[in-house]
Amino acid sequence: MTKSIHLSKSFSSNWRRHVWVRPLLVLVVLASIGWWLRASVEATLQANLRSVLKTTLKAEQSAVQNWIRMQRSQAEAAAGDEQIAAAIRSLVANAKSDSAALELFNLPQSAELRRELAPVLEAQEYNGFVVVEASGRIVASYRSELVGVMLTDAEMRLFREKAFAGQSMVLPPAKSRVVLPDRHGVARSGVPTMFAVAPVLGESGEVIAALGLRIQPEVTFTKILEIARIGDTGETFAFDRSGLMLSNSRYDEQLRGIGLLPEGEDSTLNVSLRDPGVNLTTGAQPKLLRSEQPLTYMATEAAAGRDGENIDGHRDYRGVPVVQAWEWLNDEGFGIATKVDVREANQTLDAISRAIWGLLGLLAVVSLAMLVFMMRADHLAEKARLAEINLKRFGQSTLEEKLGEGGMGVVYRAKHAMLLRPTAVKFFDTAKADDKSIARFEREVQLTSQLNHPNTIAIYDYGRTPEGLFYFAMEYLDGLNLQDLVDRHGPQPEGRVIHILKQVCGSLAEAHSIGLIHRDVKPANILLNVRGGMFDVVKLLDFGLVKVTDNSHEAMVTKAGGIVGTPMYMSPEAYQSPNTVDARTDLYAVGAVGYFLLTGQPPFLGETVLDILMHQVKTQPELPSKRLGKPVSPELEQLLLHCLSKPAADRPKSAHEIIAELNRVPSANSWTESDARHWWRRYFPNLESDSPPETANTAQRSETIVLN
């Protein structure tokens, strides 16, 4: 101790010798760091922004192409249906070249075709159909106005290249030439329309006609492009080579207000991607008429066949500076672009820049403060070392071994001096956290301590050390988590999976009953133990991300509006609208954990977090039996898929309901206490002795996730 004080005094004395030089050196160093930091942050944020734009664009491109393939397949199925094909062949054979439109519409074969197609249109939500013969004449339609109409030259070229050459296709959105009902049911001309088209073969295999099923692009096509939007100002849309928007803009109301869109019209096929030269949303007036304005930078590049992205900022069709990425889809005949306002894209960089400039302005004050800080640094370091020694014993407990350490604290194994009971003690360093983090830590303890279910980790004590460290003591767990279980021993038997899930649901049922949602149920947070002579006892850990469903008690100590949870076990709504999750998001995670235990893999994998989240939102999981490569009880398989339903309303109503369904699975009782005892004695023979196994440390470390 005396030596430490002497070194501290000597260190302080050396600092005092150059009191006028040090502030200048600190000023130069901090200024250099500030400039370097700003440049580094800008480069990193720009790289991240470019990656987000590309990823969003690729996700939308994949969704659109999958949708087009599905539409083509449905059109092919309809055209290949024997009754439908027979009706079309008969119709084409009886449709004379000089037949009037009404005569064609009233042909018995036309009426028969409408009857055959009616269930297809209803099932697939198509809004009509056309049959086009080789001459380009429409010989049949759901609406009489279209019968007898001839295709335009451009339309005929597409039909000759694709449909009459034996290939199916989806026509890009175009305005109808006859009066049709729009998406609001109002009959008018110029309604946006698309067709999924497939060839119809004659008796000898030649193409005799093309069947087109009508799609409302402003309803179905636009919805696909609305799946991935970046932030509050981002949008993704389709466009043609002339710069005409082929899907709805998210700014229809704004476009009406600035005069780019007539009242009552949607933006599909009514908005041209032209650069007004000024920001119209601010009330500025362009110098050129809309028809004289050039295409936007993105539309110009795409029309020239150049795909790419731009993060420097160019005006969009509203004149608002945006960053964007785009790609032309040759096979589909249109392009896709995704964009977000520069203001939103750069808000993080702007905030950092303001902070840096503010820091530079206060450098003189900071340099002087550094002098005081450095003179006290050695004294504080000595005090911290003494605090660490004092921490070895606090209250009636003695710390024995460090189990894990995170960015904001540490977990020790401890023993009570009188009871000799092993505990796990978690410390939280307040110097490394803000008020919200501290509030979250306290809230975790308070909420978890309300739970007393045997499958929920128990809290023994809570307090604060004299040095300002929060801590709480919990039961010491001597098993392994489910992630390690599967990593080491592979997929688990059905009976054991059911046994584990029932205990997890029991813990969740209690939490849900008092309005608590866990929000991070995953294998690493579920510990398998030997407790009180019982084997395979589950303990659910880490209620640190818990949410209170009663808004009057919501402390908002998790990230406000942010994504909370683990992507591979996160429900769709936890990603899309995290502030609205309820108990059913935990039930989705239960299904994902069960799937992992049964197959050895989570329901969805991906190269990036965004890939996994997009699967959670849009992809149906593969059957567990198919993933596993061997039969699975249908009752268990369907229950897991039920839990993994995309809409929360389609999942089981409660954890109790899942327990009841698990009890009805034929293999529910196939994993016995004897099986569990044999397994634990084989792999962890020391668990029944007084000393905990080596793997106990790794098990308890799963509890430290909240510290990182």
Whole-angstrom Cα Rg for the chain:
33
Gap between the Cα atoms of 292 and 671, Å rounded: 76
Q: Which two tokens stand for residue 589?
A: 């995670």
Amino acid at 608: T
**Quick one: which H or E segment has residue 130?**
strand 129-133
For residue 467, the 8-state DSSP code is: T
Distances (CA, A) of 342 to 41, 54, 56, 310, 399: 17, 16, 16, 11, 53
The 10 Å Cβ neighbour count of residue 580 is 10
- The answer to whether 564 touches 546, Cβ cutoff 8 Å, is no
Q: Which residue has the tokens 């959105």?
A: 173
Return phi, psi of residue 35, to 5°.
-65, -45
Three-state secondary structure call for residue 236: strand
Gap between the Cα atoms of 221 and 168, Å rounded: 18
Gap between the Cα atoms of 655 and 133, Å rounded: 58
Distances (CA, A) of 553 to 72, 356, 549: 52, 37, 8
Gap between the Cα atoms of 200 and 163, Å rounded: 9
For residue 562, the 8-state DSSP code is: S
Return phi, psi of residue 218, to 5°.
-70, -10
Among 405, 375, 413, CA closest to 692? 413
Residues annotated as catalytic (active site), given as ranges:
520
Distances (CA, A) of 464 to 450, 461, 467, 472: 20, 10, 8, 9
Q: Which residues pair with 133 in a beta bridge?
A: 209
Q: Which two tokens stand for residue 650?
A: 């389609």
Q: Which two tokens stand for residue 98?
A: 């000089």
Return phi, psi of residue 219, to 5°.
-105, -60
Gap between the Cα atoms of 289 and 400, Å rounded: 79
Amino acid at 509: A
In 560-694, alpha helices (H): 572-576, 583-599, 609-618, 624-628, 634-643, 655-663, 673-683
Gap between the Cα atoms of 212 and 192, Å rounded: 15
Gap between the Cα atoms of 118 and 653, Å rounded: 37
- The answer to whether 544 touches 459, Cβ cutoff 8 Å, is no
